[in-house]
Amino acid sequence: MKLSTRIQNIEQPATIAMTQKARELRQQGKDVISLSIGEPDFDTPDFIKEAAIQAIHENYSHYTPVSGYPELKEAIVNKFKRDNNLDYKPSQIVVSTGAKQSIYNVFQSIINEGDEVIIPVPYWITYADIVKLSGGKPVLVETTIENDFKPTLESLENAISAKSKAMIFSSPCNPSGSVYSKSELHEIAKFAAKHDLIILSDEIYEHIVYEEKAISIASFPEAFDRTVTINGLSKAYAMTGWRIGFIGAPEWIAKACDNMQSQVTSGTNSIAQRAAIAALNSDLSEIQYMIDAFAKRREKVLEWINEIPGFKIKEPKGAFYMFPDVSDWFGKTIKGKTIQNSDDLANFLLEEVYVSTVAGSAFGLNNCLRFSYAASLDQLEEAMKRIKTVLS
């Protein structure tokens, strides 16, 4: 009796593994500060919870349409128009059980065995594993901290082969916090058109930005008919556990995702969908308090990280992560422990000062370490103080 090679080829995300390890230490009574998980520390806003409670009373308890309630799809169409300058029809929208399932649906729908998907490094852990689960091959494109962790056109061109099928990236980026500018996105749009690639644009952090607004690549005419715009409510609305993600896509891809999902999960949870309607139809000012809090933390954490010896940081423009280059520590011995790579440093910080982070290797970039600043200012200050002390 044996598991399939498919499942043996994928790994549990390091973010989840690290969070689990932190939880175990906490259960042993250790004062652990967890900066490894990618979710807001806020509760879902009350008006969204009220909409869910009302939905329960109104008996939204039956199977839902596979691609989502029509009212939710309408709210998503309006959201795309309001926030992204995108004109999708309801037939181009598919609601799923989190953006993670949205991405899974798309890759299952477009990838044949051996097809290649271009993924700039660092990338959200799950992209590469879903590509592999779909029979595809991730083609990783290196970036540098100097280039704000964005690929150059030349490096993208070098990644092209006869098997190239798609490209996926996030802006704002998890883990680097980079936000692609209008001209950078335009370059990628032209590049994708030149090589007939499908673009998966993961915009789940779009509202969590600190300088310029994030732009949707599908708003470029070259890109609209070849782009799947991925989004969801987990991050901006503090709704990670509700599991609502969605896509705006060319109709043929949306239809395929609908088919795919109909055999796997069917339509998404009814109560969560009703809550999502209230969330998306509300004014964006309703969630501004969370973004303001992230902005304040970003400023402070940047200051504190800059004081830690051997950490080089590029100011993140979006999301809620810091991704310093910590490679100055590689090859050094601290408290009798030799640090060879980012995994060693992440483990060292957890074991010695009880701060959980995620090694950059999990995102394809061993030189870095990811800190989530979706934690209180007090916790963040204490965590940074502990790290600075042990590394000084």
Report, in Å, the least distance between residue 59 CB and ligand PMP.
26
Distance of CA 363 to the CA centre of its chain: 11
Contact 51, 270 (CB under 8 A): no
7 DSSP β-pair partners: none
Q: Which is nearer to ligand PMP, 174 or 367 (CB)?
A: 174
- Count residues contacting ligand PMP (CB under 6 A)? 13
From the list 92-100, 290-298, 307-315, 351-359, the region that binds ligand PMP by CB under 6 A is 92-100
Q: Which is nearer to ligand PMP, 354 or 371 (CB)?
A: 371
Q: Does 372 bind ligand PMP (CB under 6 A)?
A: no
Which of 232, 267, 316, 318 is close enough to bind ligand PMP by CB under 6 A? 232
Dihedrals phi, psi of 27, to nearest 5 degrees: -65, -25
Report, in Å, the least distance between residue 233 CB and ligand PMP.
7
Q: Which is nearer to ligand PMP, 100 or 226 (CB)?
A: 100
Nearest residue to 21 (alpha-carbon basis) of 384, 351, 302, 303: 351
Q: Which is nearer to ligand PMP, 38 or 151 (CB)?
A: 38
Report, in Å, the least distance between residue 202 CB and ligand PMP.
5
Q: Which is nearer to ligand PMP, 19 or 92 (CB)?
A: 19
Angle value at C-alpha 139, between 134 and 143, nearest 5 degrees: 135
According to DSSP, the β-strands at 245-248 and 358-359 are unpaired
What residues from 233 to 272 belong to the interface with ligand PMP (CB under 6 A)?
234, 240, 245
Report, in Å, the least distance between residue 240 CB and ligand PMP.
5
Report, in Å, the least distance between residue 362 CB and ligand PMP.
12
Report, in Å, the least distance between residue 166 CB and ligand PMP.
16
What residues from 95 to 154 belong to the interface with ligand PMP (CB under 6 A)?
98-100, 124
Whether the bond between 13 and the residue before it is cis, its omega within 30 degrees of 0, is: no
Residue 265 to residue 261: CA distance in whole angstroms: 6
Report, in Å, the least distance between residue 231 CB and ligand PMP.
8
Residue whose C-beta lies closest to ligand PMP: 98
> Cα dist. 44→12, 39, 160 in Å?
27, 12, 42
Q: Which residues of 146-175 are buried (b: 16+ CB within 10 A; e: fewer)?
A: eebbbbeeebbeebbeeebbbbbbbbbbbb
Q: Which is nearer to ligand PMP, 97 or 270 (CB)?
A: 97
Edge-to-edge order in the sheet of strand 227-232: 93-96, 245-248, 227-232, 198-202, 164-170, 116-120, 137-141
Site mask, ligand PMP, residues 183-222, x = CB under 6 A? -------------------x-x------------------
Q: Does 38 bind ligand PMP (CB under 6 A)?
A: yes
Report, in Å, the least distance between residue 280 CB and ligand PMP.
14
From the list 94-102, 185-193, 221-229, 272-280, the region that binds ligand PMP by CB under 6 A is 94-102
Report, in Å, the least distance between residue 287 CB and ligand PMP.
16
Gyration radius from the chain CA atoms:
21
Contact 120, 100 (CB under 8 A): no
Contact 231, 203 (CB under 8 A): yes
Residue 340 to residue 251: CA distance in whole angstroms: 48
Q: Which is nearer to ligand PMP, 214 or 391 (CB)?
A: 214
Report, in Å, the least distance between residue 316 CB and ligand PMP.
13
Contacts of 80 (CB under 8 A, 6+ apart): 86, 87, 88, 216, 229, 248
Q: Does 174 bind ligand PMP (CB under 6 A)?
A: yes
Residue 169 to residue 253: CA distance in whole angstroms: 18
Judged by DSSP in three states, 33 sits in strand
Element of type H or E holding 52: helix 46-57
Q: Which is nearer to ligand PMP, 83 or 222 (CB)?
A: 83
Fill in the DSSP letter of residue 72.
H
Report, in Å, the least distance between residue 323 CB and ligand PMP.
13
Q: Which is nearer to ligand PMP, 33 or 173 (CB)?
A: 173
Nearest residue to 364 (alpha-carbon basis) of 165, 141, 146, 162: 141
Judged by DSSP in three states, 350 sits in helix
Q: Which is nearer to ligand PMP, 88 or 127 (CB)?
A: 127
> By the criterion CB under 6 A, which residues form the site for ligand PMP?
38, 98-100, 124, 170, 174, 202, 204, 232, 234, 240, 245
